[in-house]
Amino acid sequence: MSAGKRSVDLLMALAGGVLLWPLLLVVALAVWLCDGRPVLFGSERMRTPEHPFILWKFRTMTPDAHDHGVSGGDKAGRITRLGRRLRRSRLDELPQLWNLLRGDISVVGPRPPLRRYVEAYPQLYARILRCRPGLTGLATVLFHRREAALLAPCRSPEETERIYRTRCLPVKARLDLRYAARRGLGLDLLIVARTFLPARRRRE
């Protein structure tokens, strides 16, 4: 990662923390009051093929010690009422400001993958993870809704895993590699706008 991009990440993390701390506090209190502890959910992700880290989110599902893999329709029953609202608004991802501050992720880049996929496809992720993983990325803005639609009908962890590996992962990988080949300030700004501005405002 270049020094300039890291400086922007630090500025965004600090500014986000200063501006959004009341919202972070309100959401944390809401999760605690509505769904109990733990308030946060940590998931191991890979920053590089060799370096894992814990990605933090507000908890949106009932805990399950045996939970693994991506979320599909088989996990829908565990999503809490508040969790659905947090996911729709992306407020569950606010704690990732801490990951941004630490340097685990950048503002824009490929979404950080689970270890199991990095180990299953080492050559592919050796190329993808040359870019620091991001809060958002090209695959997020272009494929997130389609991925959710593909995984929603899945009724077992095995089906979710099969659909993800055969129909989601290849598309996301192509988009991540396209971003790596074309990355720059202009593309990053476009991705940020597509991610955080409401769709109605973008059309206007």
Domain residue ranges in the chain: 3-196
Tell me which DSSP letter residue 61 carries.
Answer: B
Q: Tell me how far apart the alpha carbons of residues 72 and 95 are, in angstroms, rounded to a whole number.
A: 22
Q: Looking at the predicted structure, is the pLDDT value of residue 9 above 60? A: yes
For position 201, what pLDDT does the model report? 42
Tens of pLDDT, residues 122-177:
999 999 999 999 999 999 999 999 999 999 999 999 999 999 999 999 999 999 99
Nearest to 131 by CA among 102, 96, 105: 105
Q: How does residue 198 score in pLDDT terms, banded at 50, 70 and 90?
A: low
Global confidence as pTM: 0.89
Residue range 16-26: mean pLDDT, rounded: 95
Nearest to 84 by CA among 40, 31, 135, 23: 31
DSSP states along 140-164: HHHHHHHHHHHHTT--SHHHHHHHI
Nearest to 139 by CA among 176, 180, 184: 176
What tokens were used for 167?
A: 């129909």
Tens of pLDDT, residues 56-73:
999 999 998 778 788 899
Q: Which alpha helices (DSSP H) does 36-184 contain, by range?
A: 81-89, 96-102, 115-120, 122-128, 138-151, 157-163, 169-182
